[in-house]
Amino acid sequence: MTVCQRRNTRQRQVVLEELRAENCHPTAAQLYDRVRQRLPRISLGTIYRNLDILEETGQCVRLCGSASAEARFDGRIEPHLHHQCRACGRVRDLETMLPVLDDMIGRNVEDHRVDSFTLIFHGVCAGCRS
């Protein structure tokens, strides 16, 4: 492994660790702020590139948005539900299971194979309601 490859591997590992550290579904920019505390010289472009690779290799999930700054990333890869607060914008995991959705995994639905889902409910979170 070259020095450059080793650095890339290390950067990707830190990005993944920070993505998994807090269950906050960060945007790339938010993740950049966290990773920069450990790797001060990393660029936002490198964060984007690593998120693309982690997504392609099934180590993280893009929750919403495309390549835009709006996209949220999740280090928890098994299918689960989310809630996004209209007031504070936070995206949280819901532990509630919807058997009808789980039943679709591994099946053909209208002849299309389903192997995962991303689903975000919108509303006002418990903290913002009180």
Q: Where along the sequence are the contacts to Zn ion (CB under 5 A)?
A: 74, 76, 85, 87-88, 93, 125, 128
Q: Whole-number minimum distance, CB 17 to Zn ion, in Å?
A: 16
Q: Whole-number minimum distance, CB 25 to Zn ion, in Å?
A: 6
41 or 129: CB nearest Zn ion: 129
Q: Within 13 Å, how many C-alpha atoms sit on residue 5's CB side?
A: 2
User: Do the beta carbons of residue 72 and residue 91 sit within 8 Å?
Assistant: yes
10 or 76: CB nearest Zn ion: 76
6 or 128: CB nearest Zn ion: 128
* Cβ atoms within 10 Å, residue 113: 9
Rg (CA), the chain: 16
Task: Compute the distance between CA of residue 100 and CA of residue 103 in angstroms, rounded to an integer.
Answer: 5
Q: Whole-number minimum distance, CB 87 to Zn ion, in Å?
A: 4
Q: Whole-number minimum distance, CB 85 to Zn ion, in Å?
A: 3
9 or 116: CB nearest Zn ion: 116
Residues 6 or more apart whose Cβ sits within 8 Å of residue 89? none
Tracing tokens 């490859």 back to the chain, one arrives at 5
Q: Whole-number minimum distance, CB 76 to Zn ion, in Å?
A: 5
> Which pair of structure tokens corresponds to residue 54?
């982690």
10 or 122: CB nearest Zn ion: 122
